């Protein structure tokens, strides 16, 4: 936390309230240059740990630099091993895998979703030996766009229509998302340690873990949105660096704000913003809730540009953004996302039997000037929208979004109760095999506190990092309140899990204290943060059997049902 240098009291000593601030680590700093305000530099990596371990100063510096990638890669390895461990178990069609795994196989065969018999017939045939695949080429009405199913299909193309095959790509994306979050956290907080901490927290989140091992679409949306968020962070730094380079320099070499430059300077080509548009299009073409991230992120980037021009000295930063940045932002994100979304339907466009493919061929009317395939897709999408917003069939595990942050009603993906002597059950009272889509409780409950802290940082301290995290959480969470009467599930929340982990990391960083804090303050903060992280890790290990469907005594399963609503 940066504060102004404290004033001097009697005899040059700080006044009492300033001494108390210093006791808590709030030490004043010298004024920050405009260039550093626009682009906060990454600190030089510390080498004290490697020197303590006996390495020479030169080797310690090299290892410290390598840790900027070595740390995130190590965290990713620790996340990937349990995600791929026994990935094909249980050998069953888990929850909504009955839709997406089969649709993905149909995409490989036809380029669109064909028709399967009912799950009671087709699921046992797929799992049987020899395998039977009762798929016909008649187009089937489906509720979600194609991209997520194409992603799942990549794993089936490599490993076949098996549990391991249809779960492979979600496990891979779940692992890679941990790597991305480590690097995103590093850029956001300018700290490799905090970046790795954010990735480690997501590695031990139960909801992220379960969704990484299940062939559903929501983790795919999470991956593409997180990639877009990372691209926008890089774009923010590069655009602000170009703006800083355009500012005039005083005779003493200091960069100073300039109204003309702040109002008129361009920020050049912004390829990372185009990449963000591509990823947001992929997210929306996986599941429609990705569209909300497009809207929220466009607003976020425009506010970032306003802040950059204000720091650069613009007299009218909002007008400058409207003149110089708005067009580029919208054109970089929205059209690219729309084009990506449309391209995802290529297999359907090239087919003859896709559902509703030729609906508009024999229809004229006011819109007949639009190509028939596009009108057919629009009609199909309208029907899908009506289906999604009107879906109100009661389900045992549906939940209201109000309960998601506190884990009010997790979703049971799989449950078996083997008797003694069956499937490794040795308990007299019987056993349970469960896969529960439950976030690690201590992590999520800590995140509730962290979000309150971030609201304070954003509203009262104008911390842009807090605003960015809250924006991403809001984009993934708030839209569901528009559909409280619809059948919705708490595992949809996996899309904003990375930002909950960033929020907890920022709170832990505050516990650690600023760089200028006293040694005692840093020690107390490190102990408090370390204890919380260890408790979260223990909590994940404790619930691990109900994340993986292991056979455990029924009493042990029941002991893990901390709330009655989890059963």
Residue located via tokens 């595992």:
491
Question: How many other CB atoms are there within 10 angstroms of residue 211's CB atom?
Answer: 27
Q: Whose CA is closest to 499, among 543, 451, 540?
A: 451
Quick: pLDDT tens for 509-565.
999 888 778 888 888 999 999 999 999 999 999 999 999 999 999 999 999 999 999
Q: Whose CA is closest to 411, among 439, 441, 437?
A: 437
> 329 near 309, Cβ under 8 Å?
no
Q: At 167, is the secondary structure helix, strand, or coil?
A: helix
Q: What local confidence, expressed as pLDDT, does residue 1 receive?
A: 34
| Peptide bond between residue 90 and the one before it cis (omega within 30 degrees of 0) | yes
Cα dist. 165→147, 158, 161, 211, 258 in Å? 17, 7, 6, 15, 58
For 290, list phi and psi in degrees, rounded to 5: -65, -25
Q: What local confidence, expressed as pLDDT, does residue 31 receive?
A: 57
The rounded Cα 70 to chain-centroid distance in angstroms is 22
Q: Cα–Cα distance between 111 and 149 in angstroms, integer?
A: 11
Q: Cα–Cα distance between 12 and 15 in angstroms, integer?
A: 9
Q: What local confidence, expressed as pLDDT, does residue 408 receive?
A: 96
Q: What local confidence, expressed as pLDDT, does residue 25 receive?
A: 44
Q: Which residues of the chain have pLDDT under 70?
A: 1-32, 48-49
Question: How many other CB atoms are there within 10 angstroms of residue 253's CB atom?
Answer: 6
Q: What local confidence, expressed as pLDDT, does residue 544 receive?
A: 98
DSSP states along 356-379: TTTTTTT--STTTTS-HHHHHHHH
> Distance from first CA to last CA of the chain, Å, rounded?
44
- What tokens were used for 528? 């408090």
Q: Cα–Cα distance between 514 and 509 in angstroms, integer?
A: 8
Q: Which residues contact 556 (CB under 8 A, 6 or more apart)?
A: 432, 545
DSSP states along 93-129: --TTHHHHHHHHHHHHHHSS--B---HHHHHHHHHSS
| Residue 417 burial (10 A CB sphere; 0-12, 13-18, 19+) | middle
Q: What local confidence, expressed as pLDDT, does residue 433 receive?
A: 96
Element (H, E) at 239: helix 218-246
Residue located via tokens 């799942």:
152
Q: Which residues contact 453 (CB under 8 A, 6 or more apart)?
A: 503, 506, 507, 510
Q: What local confidence, expressed as pLDDT, does residue 2 receive?
A: 35
User: Biggest alpha carbon distance in the chain?
Assistant: 92
Q: Cα–Cα distance between 220 and 216 in angstroms, integer?
A: 8
Q: Cα–Cα distance between 321 and 329 in angstroms, integer?
A: 10
Provide the whole-model pTM. Answer: 0.92
For 85, list phi and psi in degrees, rounded to 5: -65, 120
Q: What local confidence, expressed as pLDDT, does residue 14 receive?
A: 45
- What tokens were used for 84? 């791929």
Scored b (16 or more CB within 10 A) or e, 238-249 reads bbbebbbebbee
Q: Cα–Cα distance between 134 and 125 in angstroms, integer?
A: 8
Q: What local confidence, expressed as pLDDT, does residue 118 receive?
A: 94
Cα radius of gyration rounded to whole Å, the chain? 26
């Amino acid at each position: 936390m940066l504060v102004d240098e404290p004033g001097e009291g009697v005899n040059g000593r700080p006044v009492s309230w300033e001494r108390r601030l210093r006791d808590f680590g709030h030490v004043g700093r010298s004024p920050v240059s405009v260039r550093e305000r626009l682009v906060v530099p990454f600190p030089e990596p510390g080498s004290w740990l490697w020197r303590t371990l006996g390495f020479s100063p030169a080797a310690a510096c090299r290892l410290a630099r390598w840790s900027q990638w070595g740390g995130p890669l190590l965290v990713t390895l620790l996340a990937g091993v349990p995600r791929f461990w026994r990935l094909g178990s249980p050998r069953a069609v888990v929850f909504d895998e009955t839709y997406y795994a089969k649709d993905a196989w149909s995409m490989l065969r036809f380029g669109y979703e064909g028709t399967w018999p009912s799950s009671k017939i087709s699921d046992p045939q797929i799992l049987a030996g020899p395998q039977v695949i009762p798929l016909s080429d008649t187009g089937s009405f489906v509720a979600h766009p194609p991209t997520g199913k194409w992603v799942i299909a990549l794993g089936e193309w490599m490993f076949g229509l098996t549990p391991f095959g249809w779960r492979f790509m979600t496990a891979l994306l779940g692992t890679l998302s941990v790597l991305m979050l480590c690097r995103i956290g590093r850029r956001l907080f300018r700290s490799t340690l905090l970046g790795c901490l954010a990735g480690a927290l997501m590695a031990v989140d139960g909801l992220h873990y379960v969704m990484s091992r299940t062939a559903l679409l929501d983790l795919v949306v999470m991956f593409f949105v997180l990639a877009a968020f990372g691209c926008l962070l890089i774009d923010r730094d590069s655009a602000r660096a170009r703006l800083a380079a355009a500012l005039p320099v005083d005779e003493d070499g200091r960069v100073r704000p300039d109204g003309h430059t702040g109002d008129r300077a361009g920020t050049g080509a912004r390829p990372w913003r185009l990449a963000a548009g591509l990823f947001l299009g992929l997210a929306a073409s996986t599941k429609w809730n990705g569209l909300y991230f497009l809207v929220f992120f466009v607003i976020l980037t425009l506010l970032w540009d306003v802040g950059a021009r204000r720091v650069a000295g613009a007299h009218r930063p909002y007008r400058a953004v409207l003149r110089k940045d708005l067009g580029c932002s919208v054109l970089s994100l929205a059209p690219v996302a729309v084009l990506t979304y449309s391209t995802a339907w290529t297999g359907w466009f090239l087919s003859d039997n896709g559902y509703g493919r030729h609906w508009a061929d024999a229809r004229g009317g006011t819109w007949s000037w639009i190509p028939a395939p596009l009108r057919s897709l629009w009609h199909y999408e309208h029907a899908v929208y009506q289906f999604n917003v009107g879906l109100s069939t009661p389900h045992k595990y549906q939940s209201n979004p109000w309960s998601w942050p506190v884990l009010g009603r997790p979703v049971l993906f799989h449950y078996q109760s083997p008797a003694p002597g069956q499937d490794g059950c040795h308990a007299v009272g019987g056993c349970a095999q469960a896969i529960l889509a439950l976030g690690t409780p201590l992590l999520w409950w800590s995140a509730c506190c962290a979000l309150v802290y971030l609201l304070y940082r954003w509203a009262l301290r104008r911390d842009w990092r807090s605003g960015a995290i809250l924006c991403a959480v809001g984009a993934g969470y708030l839209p569901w309140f528009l559909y409280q009467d619809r059948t919705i599930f708490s595992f949809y929340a996996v899309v904003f899990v990375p930002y909950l982990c960033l929020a907890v990391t920022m709170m832990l960083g505050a516990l650690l204290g600023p760089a200028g804090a006293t040694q005692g303050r840093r020690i107390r903060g490190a102990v408090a943060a370390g204890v919380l992280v260890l408790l979260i890790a223990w909590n994940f290990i404790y619930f691990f059997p109900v994340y993986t469907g292991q056979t455990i005594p029924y009493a042990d399963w029941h002991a893990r049902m901390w709330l009655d609503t989890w059963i």
